[in-house]
A and B are shown apart, each in its own frame.
Chain A
Amino acid sequence: MAEPILEVKNVKKYFPIRKGLFLKHVNDVKAVDGVSFELKRGQTLGLVGESGCGKSTLGRTIIRLYEATEGSIRFKGRDFASIGGADLRKERQNIQMIFQDPFASLDPRMTVAQILEEPFKVQGIGGDKKERAARVRELLRLVGLKASYLNRYPHEFSGGQRQRISIARAMALNPELVVADEPVSALDVSIQAQVLNLMKDLQDKLSLTYLFISHDLAVVEHMCDVIAVMYLGKIVEIAPREELFANPMHPYTQALMSAIPKVGTGKKRMSRTLDGEVPSPINPPSGCAFHPRCPKKFDKCDKATPVLATPRDAMAEHQSACWLHELK
């Protein structure tokens, strides 16, 4: 069995809120509040949830764009959360990121060739000018773009092409782990399939491991082997894809699934699956953070926080954090 390439243990990311003349620390935005999971080499793990659930913050914390407030992140068995300087830069070759907005993540004043060469410059690798140029052309071919695009600027490309360029940039240093944060959300539907297929092809060709962040359950189902559902900074349920969709156990996962409009099932009387909105992560509700919106809550839910565990009638890899499972 494949070994875990990424181990995340009890990671927290709090953003301090400061007030007053002396910027007194008054409270925290608990964006990620104790998340643990393992990601096996060659697999794709999906983080799914609504805006504000902490999925992007978690992705950025893992790649060290943010520093974790607490917890450990291990990459290939070695500590990644607390290394710094040259060690960090070297290790970053192996972990790359694809961002949501291909309009914001490419420097408008750099040509495609410059954008793709930059990772080699930063790392000081890739040989001389000629070798780098050859590698850059190879990258373009890898993502299905013509070599004649090399001297063009990002504004000359469509959204789908730009996302291909940012994927090429992420692939430049032969990473092992790629964190993709909503990589197709900004693209038109007919272009999404092209980019998703490209990501799958690259995964096969380069044996990549993906951490795939998305709000779209259908896209996550298509891409991921294991899926973690997040709500208000915590994973509420995690399971292999088929198991999660066949047997969703957490009331939030169930609500999320039934809220997704389905194509071709005909006009229907809409029903609100969930009332209310996601509460503020500054003062999350007591007990289970989902209890104010949960249709199945009972007296225990606002008193104690349920932890991720395998419910009695589920398979071993399936974990859910809900007090209901104890009742059965």
Chain B
Amino acid sequence: MSDVLVSVRNLRTSFFTKAGEVKAVNDVSYSINKGQTLGIVGESGCGKSVTSYSLMRLLESPGKVVGGEALVDGIDMLKLDEKQLGEVRGNKIGMIFQEPMTALNPVFTIGYQLDEQIMKHMKLDKNASKERAVEMLRVVGIPSPGERYSNYPHQLSGGMRQRAMIAMALSCNPDFLIADEPTTALDVTIQGQILELIQSLQEKMNMTVQFITHDLGVISEIADNVMVMYAGHTVEIGRADDIFNRPKHPYTYLLLESIPRLGRHVERLPTIEGSVPSPLNLPPGCPFQNRCPRASDECRTAMPPLEEHADSHKVACFHPH
């Protein structure tokens, strides 16, 4: 039942810039069971996207994975050569992005781009591939998929492009889907449609999902487990219910307090003072110490280890809530 499909161990990724080494992902570990959804949440620059790009091997220079392993169905993604990667990407792992135009090529039709990978991975001929492509466009809820098949990306609205990209990512029945802020650029009513779509396809295909977002509401409604990242570190990981209703790490706790929520009107919002430290010179010890109301001398010298606090709820903090 609960077999692990994705297992990332001690992943470390750095960007080697002129100004020095930026440690974007520091010793991040997590696993996802088959058919489940892990939400990765954090603010810009926390390393949530770099984690996924490292796993997909999409990092470009000066970014480099410097350590760890990333197993997907037993295959270490970090050890594959380009040819093997081509087999795995699209076939076993699909990825959707925040901005559909980064994944869709503007000079080819939607149909051409779908056919390209369906023919490659599923070894279908042109006609069968077209049938499959139109079927996928229908599955993701694009009206008149037959006509849309021969449209170019610019002829589609933002929500429709997002659907087309999802169709592409799912056209070869991947076991694992990485969704990087797939609804951030969309309006709430369209966001609802896309989330519903991802969820129903996930159930139908028993897909495993890694969902990255900064939107705590979205993650709360879609994820089984949640990992909270801050300045390249995992600060807290556990079941969604525990993270959102019994947060242990001061960062998670304050973040949840500081967002305005419907039906919880307060005159003033509690804030997290200051801002994220520059990744070029992170302070020694806990990366959150300069903004943390609970910080002590210990936090300024040593990095708190990620330790199990309650059943499968891990926190990296010397003074958890």
Contact = CB atoms under 8 A, between A and B. Distances in A.
A263 B259 contact: yes
A217 interface: yes
B43 A158 contact: no
Contacts of A241: 265
Contacts of B267: 200
Nearest to A271: B196
A171 B9 CA distance: 51
B102 interface: no
A117 B263 CA distance: 41
Given A218-B260, A261-B222, 5 more contacts: A50-B189, A188-B276, A221-B262, A222-B266, A271-B196
Interface stretch (B47-55, B85-93, B213-221, B313-321): B213-221
Nearest to B196: A270
Nearest to A255: B189
A247 interface: no
B240 A267 contact: yes
A193 B266 CA distance: 12
Interface residues of A, number: 47
Interface residues of B, number: 51
Interface stretch (A30-38, A58-66, A91-99, A272-280): A272-280
A197 interface: yes
A263 B254 contact: no
Nearest to A53: B187
Interface of A: 50-51, 158, 160-161, 188-194, 196-197, 200, 215-219, 221-222, 241-242, 245, 255-257, 259-275, 277-278
Contacts of A277: 157, 159-160, 190
A261 B262 contact: no
B262 A262 contact: yes
A217 B259 CA distance: 12
Interface of B: 37, 43-44, 157, 159-160, 187-193, 195-196, 199-200, 214-218, 220-224, 240-241, 244-245, 254-256, 258-263, 265-273, 275-276
Contact of B263 (A194, A215, A245, A270): A245
B221 A268 contact: yes
A216 B191 CA distance: 13
Contacts of A222: 260, 265-266, 269
A51 B241 contact: no
B203 to A, nearest CB: 9
Nearest to A198: B271
Contacts of A191: 275
Contacts of A51: 187
A195 to B, nearest CB: 9
Contacts of B256: 263-264
Contacts of B224: 267
B188 A196 contact: no
Contacts of A160: 275
9 contacts: A219-B260, A221-B260, A222-B265, A222-B266, A256-B189, A259-B192, A265-B220, A266-B240, A267-B224
A289 to B, nearest CB: 14
Contacts of B272: 190, 193-194
